[in-house]
Amino acid sequence: AAPELSKAASLSGIDVVATRIWLDKYVPTDTPANVFSRFEGLRGAGGTFFMLDQLQKDTEDELWGGETPQGSVLACDFYNGGAVACMSDEDIVSLLVDELLPAAVPEFK
């Protein structure tokens, strides 16, 4: 057996749900790193979202797999996200696109 794996099993941690969303338009934000807090839709989780197209402007085409960039690319993460993890992929994307992102940055509407 591998004793280092046994030790890793005893570490404490939290559930994290990570998403990536490619949009068909660019959305301007004040900062490329943002926080979700105190939204009912978070179901007790905390969250962050990063505008990858803004953070990786020099390599933006790589975010699109070498294709021509078409809009903003977001990394949205939920921490302590056990309740979010139970949702379907479609429901998580809908929560982000229809509720959380527009509430945090009105330009997402």
Contact at 8 Å (CB) between 74 and 34?
no
8: three-class secondary structure by DSSP: helix
**pLDDT, tens only, 30-46:** 999 999 988 999 999 99
DSSP result, 43-80: TT-EEEEEEHHHHTGGGHHHHTTTSPP-S-EEEEEEES
**pLDDT, tens only, 58-96:** 999 999 999 999 999 999 999 999 999 999 999 999 999
Element containing residue 4 per DSSP (H, E): helix 3-9
| pTM attached to this predicted model | 0.84
pLDDT for the residue 65: 94
11: three-class secondary structure by DSSP: coil
